[in-house]
Amino acid sequence: MRLLILGTGGMAKNHAMSFKAIDGVEVTAAVDVDAARVEAFALTHGIANTFTSLEDAIAWGEFDAVANVTPDRAHHPTTMRLIAAGKHQFCEKPLAENYDLAMEMTEAAEKAGLINMVNLSYRNVAALQTARAMVRAGEIGFVKHVEASYLQSWLISKAWGDWRTESQWLWRLSTAHGSNGVLGDIGIHILDFASYGSGLDIAHIFGRLKTFDKAEGGKMGDYVLDANDSFTMSVDFSNGALGVIHATRWAAGHYNDLKLRIYGDKGGIEIDHKLTGTRMRACYGDNAETAEWIDIEPEPTPTNYQRFADAVKTGVNGEPDFRHAASLQKALDLAFITEKERAEHALL
């Protein structure tokens, strides 16, 4: 597979390093509107060809697939042009700014018969894959209750930099700069973590969003700080199970932590994923009577990058695909509506 990387910002280095480590993958070109940035990126990662416009790259055409690492707003227009050019797609999350655009991308890719996948990066967590397999095998019985959280602390900690002075953080707090807040940034990850791990689709949601005061007058320089920085969501799943999903950037002591609890009528599974590692444990079988939990060591799982390369090689689309990402986007869109209307909405 000859791969082109579109967009050479911070996340692009992960794509370059991950794809270059896969046998049979050649990272053959990079595209960015910033000429200096794309040249530096290509030099760092040993990429032979660079372009400052997607049109020039398409005219050149010597690539089979694209890793789309552009800003969120650029996903739809760039992907649609690449689909028209017959290129397989590996797109960063979220797939698009809203459900309608995401579905347009989905239907176009499917109609063209192209591989289409989205980099929901926490699918790379082996414990999540193991939890899903255990649930689907009936190890914990009929799922009745799910809890999931995504906790960050960068609004009160400078461990990753100072959001008050650095644009890479400030834009995430401003809708005018393209942010849908914590819901749009990490909400899609925890929704996928909860639904994929439990093996269930989300059927109904009722979301609450909150933007807390962070600066005098609600702005810093050109940035109006109006994007949500905490959300809670009550959901029910396709089998009738209830769930609670929430995320915040105000969680002291949690740099980047995802937690998942899945409880069925025969047992439970818990995952605690942090930058420093993952702990998975389960209470099922005879242990459900004694409330004894056992640690589980999951088997390694292929990364999204490997799954995409395999999909292009075999011609069989992999997961997570555009259609799944579009369904998650629908949930995000509806969360804004439920906050405004104070009423539950259906996804399915």
What is the token pair recorded at 110? 């499917």
pLDDT of residue 178: 80
Q: Which residues of 6-28 are buried (b: 16+ CB within 10 A; e: fewer)?
A: bbbeeebebbbebbeebeebebb
Single residue among 278, 300, 322 that ends a domain in this structure:
300
Residues whose CB is less than 8 angstroms from the CB of residue 263 and which lie 6 or more positions away in sequence, other chains included: 140, 143, 144, 145, 146
Q: Does residue 329 sit within a domain?
A: no
Sequence letter at residue 68: N
Count of structural domains within the chain:
2
Same domain assignment for residues 159 and 244? yes
Same domain assignment for residues 95 and 43? yes
Q: What angle do CA 98, 73, 326 make, to 5 degrees?
A: 30
Residues whose CB is less than 8 angstroms from the CB of residue 302 and which lie 6 or more positions away in sequence, other chains included: 310
What is the token pair recorded at 167? 């644009």
Q: Does residue 250 sit within a domain?
A: yes
16 vs 6: CA distance, rounded Å: 11
Same domain assignment for residues 140 and 176? yes
| Residue 138 · residue 111 · CB < 8 Å | no
Residues whose CB is less than 8 angstroms from the CB of residue 52 and which lie 6 or more positions away in sequence, other chains included: 31, 32, 33, 34, 35, 38
Same domain assignment for residues 180 and 275? yes
Q: Does residue 224 sit within a domain?
A: yes
- Other C-beta atoms within 10 Å of 263: how many? 19
Residues whose CB is less than 8 angstroms from the CB of residue 297 and which lie 6 or more positions away in sequence, other chains included: 280
Same domain assignment for residues 18 and 40? yes
| Residue 279 · residue 183 · CB < 8 Å | no
Single residue among 121, 153, 174 that ends a domain in this structure:
121
Single residue among 89, 121, 153 that ends a domain in this structure:
121
325 vs 4: CA distance, rounded Å: 22
272 vs 254: CA distance, rounded Å: 11
| Structural domain that includes position 87 | 2-121
DSSP string across 120-140: -GGGG-HHHHHHHHHHHTTTT
Same domain assignment for residues 73 and 135? no
Same domain assignment for residues 267 and 161? yes
Residues whose CB is less than 8 angstroms from the CB of residue 274 and which lie 6 or more positions away in sequence, other chains included: 254, 255, 256, 257
- Other C-beta atoms within 10 Å of 290: how many? 8
Q: Please report, for the domain that includes residue 103, its CATH number.
A: 3.40.50.720
Same domain assignment for residues 170 and 285? yes
What is the token pair recorded at 161? 């930099």
What is the token pair recorded at 318? 């992999």
Residue 321 has what DSSP assignment? B
Same domain assignment for residues 85 and 174? no
| pLDDT tens track, the chain, 348 positions | 999 999 998 899 999 999 999 999 999 999 999 999 999 999 999 999 999 999 999 999 999 999 999 988 899 999 999 999 999 999 999 999 899 999 999 999 999 999 999 999 999 999 999 999 999 999 999 999 999 999 999 999 999 899 999 888 898 999 998 888 999 889 999 999 999 999 999 999 999 999 999 999 999 999 999 999 999 999 999 999 999 999 999 999 999 999 999 999 999 999 999 999 999 999 999 999 999 999 999 999 999 999 999 999 999 999 999 999 999 999 999 999 999 999 999 988
73 vs 59: CA distance, rounded Å: 23
pLDDT of residue 105: 98
